[in-house]
Amino acid sequence: MKKPTVTLGREFMTAQDAADMWGVSKSAVYKWISAGKPSAVRLGGRYRLRQSDVEAFEAAAKREGA
């Protein structure tokens, strides 16, 4: 997985950062956010993902074999 090139401090990343890291489209990340996994917050009118939520999402995906 690719590390995000732009982070918002250490705690948050953008949907695009997550998409780049996971090798999926940004729309796929938004679809997952809409479904509640991973959780995200809206800051400045845009979604931001907490690093801890991203790590938890990745760990759950590995446990499920995704």
What pLDDT shows up at residue 9?
58
Is the pLDDT reported for residue 4 higher than 60?
no
Q: What is the DSSP string of 1-51?
A: -PPPSS-BTTTEEEHHHHHHHHTS-HHHHHHHHHTTSS--EEETTEEEEEH
Please tell me the CATH code under which domain 12-64 is placed.
Answer: 1.10.1660.10
Give the pTM: 0.73
Give the pLDDT band (50/70/90) at residue 11. Answer: confident
> Mean pLDDT throughout 12-35?
93
Domain ranges of the chain: 12-64
46: Cβ contacts below 8 Å, ≥ 6 apart: 14, 15
Count of other CB atoms within 10 angstroms of residue 53: 19
